[in-house]
Amino acid sequence: MKSIGVLALQGGFDPHLRALRKAGADARPVKTWDEIRGRQGLVIPGGESTTIGKLLVLHGLLDSLKELLGDGFPVFGTCAGLILLSQRVVGREQPLLGVLDVDVARNAYGRQTESFETSLPFEGTEKGSVPAVFIRAPQIVRTGPGVQILSVYEDLPVCVRQKNILAAAFHPELTDSAVLHDYFLSLV
Ligand code: GLN
């Protein structure tokens, strides 16, 4: 059974634990360096990317995590997690891991009240589609050459992969589908 840590500093880590367990993984919340690195993969959940970033700095985790992910440790970031993995946030300085060669614009799909759910084509598996919930989601406004686009919504990439790094602008963990969590586990 694959052991996955879900970063539990802030945000929606519980639904990820449920989705990973449904997909057959041994999933646990992680907060410390030893807990993170003792697992086979990491999920960075949605929440507030500025808060999670500041907490990573405060707990002295930002640089070591950057190195671990750069060395190939599997990671899956959703929404705020995608922002933290990205290289740049348009118009803003905030602590980032910067390991995924994309730039993002925060909150570009509208406010909380403009949240929506849709079904998207998904290139990663033969099942072909994923249900996706967008909540104050970031837009991916640039992707580097090594970044594979797995899902597109209205002409913009919303799910991408770069080797060991998987990221989605939306929340697959808030739906009944485990397609993306299954896919992530296949990378571990
Ligand atoms: N808007 C949040 C941010 O910019 C992300 C929202 C989410 O994770 N659902 O950090």
Give the phi and the psi of residue 40 in degrees, each rounded to 5: -95, -10
Work out the average pLDDT over 54-64. 98
Angle of helix 179-187 relative to helix 13-22, nearest 10 degrees, comes to: 80
Catalytic residue among 16, 79, 159, 181: 79
Confidence (pLDDT) at 46? 97
- Cα separation, 33 vs 101, in Å, equals 24
Q: Which residues of 97-122 are buried (b: 16+ CB within 10 A; e: fewer)?
A: bebbbbbbbbeebeeeeeeeeeebeb
Q: Is the CB of 48 under 6 A from ligand 1?
A: yes
Ligand 1 center from residue 1 Cα (angstroms)? 31
pLDDT tens digits, 11-54: 999 999 999 999 999 999 999 999 999 999 999 999 999 999 99
String of DSSP letters for 112-164: GGG-EEEEEE-SSSTT-EEEEEESSPPEEEEE-TTPEEEEEETTEEEEEEETT
> Residue 111: is its pLDDT beyond 70?
yes
Q: Is the CB of 80 under 6 A from ligand 1?
A: yes
Check if CATH label 1.10.40.30 holds for domain 3-187.
Answer: no
Q: Is residue 79 flagged as an active site residue?
A: yes
Q: Is the CB of 106 under 6 A from ligand 1?
A: yes
Work out the average pLDDT over 151-162. 97
- Cα separation, 101 vs 162, in Å, equals 8
What average pLDDT is seen over the chain? Answer: 96
pLDDT tens digits, 133-151: 999 999 999 999 999 999 9
Percentage of the chain with pLDDT > 90?
Answer: 96
Q: Is residue 173 flagged as an active site residue?
A: yes
Taking the domains of the chain in order of start, what are their residue ranges? 3-187
Confidence (pLDDT) at 126? 78
Separation in Å, CA 70 to CA 74, 137, 181: 10, 25, 21
- Cα separation, 179 vs 173, in Å, equals 10
Token representation of residue 42: 């990491």
Token representation of residue 131: 């249900």
User: Residue 47 CA: which ligand 1 atom is closest?
Assistant: 8
Q: Is the CB of 107 under 6 A from ligand 1?
A: yes
Token representation of residue 105: 């614009």
